[in-house]
Amino acid sequence: MRKILVTGALGQIGSELMVKLREIYGVNNAVASNRRIKEGHEALIENGPFEIVNINNLKQMADVVDKYNINTIINLAAILSAKGENDPASCWDINMNGLYNVLELGREKRLQIFTPSSIAAFGPSTPPDNTPQDTIQRPNTMYGVTKVAGELLCDYYYKKFDVDTRGVRFPGLISYETLPGGGTTDYAVHIYYEALKHKKYTSFIDKGTQMDMMYMPDALDAIVSLMEADPAKLKHRNAFNVTAMSFEPEEIAASIKEHIPEFKLDYDVDSGRQAIADSWPNSLDDSAAREEWGWNPKYNLEAMTKDMLEKLRIKLNIED
């Protein structure tokens, strides 16, 4: 039976992944951890095991692994792209030194480890359209540097120490439960909140900027499917390209207008985040994930927009 520890469990992915893991594997087999308590997550903290853990503290991590007989770590603690440019030292410390601790525990205690990489692992010299699984990776952000280095480190632990490491390169993730923090693709989440609250949104990402995106239920499926995949079928490990859609701000706005015809989009471009977005691919080729472990996302832009607006209306208590 799996005994899973999730780091960064109160973040955008973790807060929804915990619910899914507790449903699949049982409440007591999915331990949530975060470096601090965050408001709004009382249910997650009270409904099952929860520990305050700083992934930079190896002893604290090891104690929790021992306490719950953990055999799987899903390592979601990370600093994202825009925040990473403002604080590169913390970005390196959490994303790399934290990952190193997780991998060392994996080696010592024979754990399976999942670590998300990102489209940020690519850079301006990467082929931007239909970006291949195996291609040039020369990112120009600290977050991207930690993601490429993290992919290599995870592959190293697999090859050298036979640690069962797996990962995907997530695109921008869109969800209604917990807001993302400090990312470049966050505009694609904020736009839905503002569309419902004010029927307008000012985008910090410019017209025409195409990026890969995915709705959270597909991202959660990707994590579970890859963790459960038959290792004999995996030619790659860290990390698989995965995508569900690729759009620019005008296209997400058009899909929102189908439901809120008065919705207006304008722009106040943030040069820092725009430069990051410009360095990332327009669209990924995720055929390796499809072939090796059956990746098959369910939500396109239209289906995601419909569901996001329905769920957010309830959450924000906004009438149709």
Interaction of residue 118 with ligand AKB, rule CB under 6 A? yes
98-109 vs 58-67: helix crossing angle, rounded to 10: 40
At its nearest, how many Å lie between ligand AKB and the CB of residue 249?
14
Interaction of residue 246 with ligand AKB, rule CB under 6 A? no
DSSP state of 103: H
Interaction of residue 184 with ligand AKB, rule CB under 6 A? yes
Interaction of residue 223 with ligand AKB, rule CB under 6 A? no
Binding ligand AKB (rule: CB under 6 A), the pick from 7, 33, 34, 81 is 81
Question: Is residue 176 among the annotated active site residues?
Answer: no
Instruction: Report d(CA 151, CA 173) in Å as an integer.
Output: 19
Binding ligand AKB (rule: CB under 6 A), the pick from 14, 48, 98, 183 is 183
Picking from 120, 213, 114, 217, the residue whose alpha carbon sits closest to that of residue 168 is 114
Residue 92 or 170 having the CB closest to ligand AKB: 170
At its nearest, how many Å lie between ligand AKB and the CB of residue 2?
26
End-to-end CA distance of the chain: 45
Interaction of residue 238 with ligand AKB, rule CB under 6 A? no
Residue 111 or 277 having the CB closest to ligand AKB: 277
* 147 and 121 Cβ atoms separated by less than 8 Å: yes
Residue 71 or 141 having the CB closest to ligand AKB: 141
Interaction of residue 120 with ligand AKB, rule CB under 6 A? yes
Interaction of residue 146 with ligand AKB, rule CB under 6 A? no
Residue 156, judged by CB atoms within 10 A of its CB (0-12, 13-18, 19+), counts as middle
* 98 and 138 Cβ atoms separated by less than 8 Å: no
Tokens of 2: 């799996």
Residue 80 or 312 having the CB closest to ligand AKB: 80
Tokens of 48: 């099952």
At its nearest, how many Å lie between ligand AKB and the CB of residue 66?
31
Report how many residues bind ligand AKB under the rule CB under 6 A: 12
Instruction: Report d(CA 127, CA 109) in Å as an integer.
Output: 39
* 95 and 124 Cβ atoms separated by less than 8 Å: no
- Please list the active-site residues: 143
> Which spans of this chain sit near ligand AKB (rule: CB under 6 A)?
80-81, 118-120, 143, 170-172, 183-185
